[in-house]
Amino acid sequence: MPDERVRIALVGCGNIARAHWRGIRYGAPLLEVTAVVDADADRAAAMAARTGGRAFTSLTEALAQGDFDAVDLMLPHDLHEAAVLEAFAAHKHVVLEKPMAPTLDACARILAAAEASGRVFMIAEQSQFWPDAMRIQELLAAGAIGDVIWARAFFFDPPESSGSVGNPADPIPWRFRLARSGGGISMDGGAHWIRPLRMWFGDVESVMATTGRHVAEMEGESRAHAVFRFSSGVTATFDALLGAGPGAPTEDFRITGTAGEIVAERGNGGRLLLYDAAHPQGEVLLDSFAGRSDAFGVELNEFSRAVLHGEPFTAGPEHSLGELRTALAMYRSAKSGRWEQVAHD
Ligand SMILES: NC(=O)c1ccc[n+]([C@@H]2O[C@H](COP(=O)([O-])OP(=O)(O)OC[C@H]3O[C@@H](n4cnc5c(N)ncnc54)[C@H](O)[C@@H]3O)[C@@H](O)[C@H]2O)c1
């Protein structure tokens, strides 16, 4: 690459594209946005004005006429597979927003195409770089709360998080359509809570879940309760909720050990607290979760360094299948009423 930067096309200029652009601007100096793509010409134009990239209304057109080495795909889930395969066929490196695809079969085809292409392939999962998630990992490794007894995770999305419509002929947001999203809140935003749990406790081996729908127009689940059993032997509850109205501050994670507790509170900007013998009232380890939004820059910087220097990923694309398999096992359990295995082959 001539100037040691990766020229990249932002594909899908909706909700998460703004977070990726901020990440590139402030945290991924080796990336240069030279193209932006959105089926909605106004969105493409707005992103072009922000980034300086050339606007296109289709990936096909951008691949034919644009000037870039890599694509950052931020599209509705049903479009992931076709877009990745098209990008690899055009010899581009790919960073793809989670989930890789809504089904494991589609994921297998994507992974095979990635392998055959010889290009760099990353699944974007920024929660692995959240400062609180990484700090908790260090605390657990150091035995700060002794042996873990159990953990709780609560994922809450506010009502306005349903995303854009994505099809002028259909007034329902694409993520409310099962044929487009592949699942509900557990497969979607829930992934960002499942990844830290996997960082701390290992793979999810089996799940017991119940799901429900309180958002009438949403076909997938808008609420879920689950119990996860991890390879380490730890058990955790996982709750996910798409809010239906104003809500109270949430406690994202609570981990209870034989010698203390760790709590990640999301309300009021976020706090990470350690309760132990020396700090029975709780020691504030982080007084803001502002660093969570910087995690997009960290992941995209890692992507650019893999493209330019062959540096390894913190977690390869196959690893992201763990979140998808967990959500799919939850859906099986909600139907069967039984514990379901989460396969890891
Ligand atoms: N990492 C995170 O925290 C996070 C948060 C939200 C969404 N996501 C993921 O990002 C992806 C996109 O979600 P979103 O919330 O940004 O959705 P969105 O609906 O806000 O944006 C999607 C964009 O894609 C455009 N689009 C639709 N079809 C297209 C096509 N054929 N060609 C080009 N553009 C097309 C739409 O016009 C829209 O602007 C999903 O995979 C989602 O799971 C990740």
Strands (E), the chain: 6-11, 31-37, 54-56, 70-73, 93-97, 121-124, 148-157, 204-212, 223-230, 235-242, 251-257, 260-265, 271-276, 279-286, 340-341
Instruction: Return the domain boundaries, the chain.
Output: 6-124, 128-293+323-341
For the chain, what is the total number of helices (H) and then of strands (E)? 10, 15
> Which of 11, 15, 186 is the pocket-test mutation for ligand 1 (most atoms within 8 Å of CB)?
15
Reported CATH class of domain 128-293+323-341: alpha beta
Rounded to the nearest angstrom, the distance between the alpha carbon of 307 and the centre of ligand 1 is: 23
> In the chain, which residues have pLDDT < 50?
1
3-state secondary structure of 265: strand
Determine the Cα–Cα distance for residues 235 and 238; give it in Å rounded to an integer: 10
- pLDDT value for 244: 82
> Which of 22, 37, 72, 75 is the pocket-test mutation for ligand 1 (most atoms within 8 Å of CB)?
75
- pLDDT value for 94: 99
Rounded to the nearest angstrom, the distance between the alpha carbon of 287 and the centre of ligand 1 is: 31
Reported CATH class of domain 6-124: alpha beta
Rounded to the nearest angstrom, the distance between the alpha carbon of 274 and the centre of ligand 1 is: 36
pTM over 0.75: yes
- pLDDT value for 25: 98
